[in-house]
Amino acid sequence: MYLGHFSLREAPFSITPDTDFFFAHEGAQASLNMLLVALRSGEGFLKVVGELGCGKTVLCRQLLKTLQGECVTAYIPNPDMGPDDLLVALCRELGQPVQLPVLRHQLMATLAQCLLAHAEQGHRVVVCIDEAQAIPVRTVESLRLLSNLETEKRKLLQLVLLGQPDLDDKLARPEIRQLLQRITFSEYLGPMHAARVQGYLVHRLQRAAQGEATDTDVFTPAAARAIAQASGGVPRLINILAHKCLMLAYGEDRHRVTAAHVRMAARDTPGVARHPPWWRRLWPASGARHLRSTQGEWE
């Protein structure tokens, strides 16, 4: 592995959602700010929609980390379950034992009692549901029922939904429009701007470095631009490309990643944008076909 070669204590470009590597680019910081302000203001239902690989899960975990000691929090990473199963999972996340089988009204009573107890102690309860686009339509009714848990002054539970763009399509369905009307704030989490990619690469290398003396200017400006273009600014693809580039540089016993390394890594990575051949950039498609045919004649 290349860790010793670059004086790193851990892999800097893992695709696991580690909050130690959270990078507050414009989109991520805007989403985090919206969630914190809205939750601290007592808003009930919030939503963040993000493209695949753009960091919804690490944003969710950063939110929960920020709220530690301030709120009672619960995290449901996979909501693809039935209506009662979701309520059982929520009870257990909040430390409420549930003996199965149990009726829905009993689950709701257990939750209400738990939330009222927290409210009496001055605690706010925040529940984050990741991959919310996977919630079955029949389960959405359970979420609507949760939104009814409130006192005259405040919501007993605040809910954050994080999901892919399919979540908006699901919430737009006529049969669940009641839940959509309860969402007071929404944010979109997209790819990071190309100009931020080099800072992102340096940030992750700094977090993974063995010490302050570690050289973190590993990626040349041209390499960073190539990664930005190939990845489209999607953090997961940036991480995959950067990891492969470090392996290539290590294999050549180099301490700098160049644009050539990025091109080699991109050829081996599904889902990235690739540069067309030079002759296709110079001529239109018809000219390119002619060039290929004449090349065959020359050979």
SS3 content of the chain, % helix, strand, coil (to 5): 55, 10, 35
Count of CB atoms within 10 A of residue 263's CB? 15
Helices 259-267 and 235-251: angle between axes, nearest 10 degrees = 110
The reply to whether 193-267 shares the fold of 44-189 is no
Give residue 120's identity as a one-letter amino acid code. E
Stretch 131-152: mean pLDDT, rounded? Answer: 86
- Nearest 5°: the CA angle 236, 238, 244 is 105
Side-by-side strand order, sheet with 72-76 = 72-76, 125-129, 158-163, 45-50, 183-189
> Which residue ranges make up each domain of the chain?
44-189, 193-267
Task: Tell me which of 12-16, 45-49, 111-115, 136-140 is least confident.
Answer: 136-140
**What CATH number labels 44-189?**
3.40.50.300
Calculate mean pLDDT across residues 8-13: 96
CATH, domain 193-267, list 1.10.8, 3.40.1580, 1.10.10, 1.10.3470:
1.10.8
For residue 35, the model assigns a pLDDT of: 97
Tens digit of pLDDT for each residue in 272-299?
Answer: 876 555 445 454 554 445 444 444 443 3
Give, in order, the Cα–Cα distances in Å from 208 to each of 8, 106, 236, 285. Answer: 6, 48, 17, 45
How many other C-beta atoms can be found within 10 angstroms of the C-beta atom of residue 217?
A: 12
pTM of the full structure: 0.88
Instruction: Report the alpha-carbon distance of residue 15 to residue 240 in Å, rounded.
Output: 7
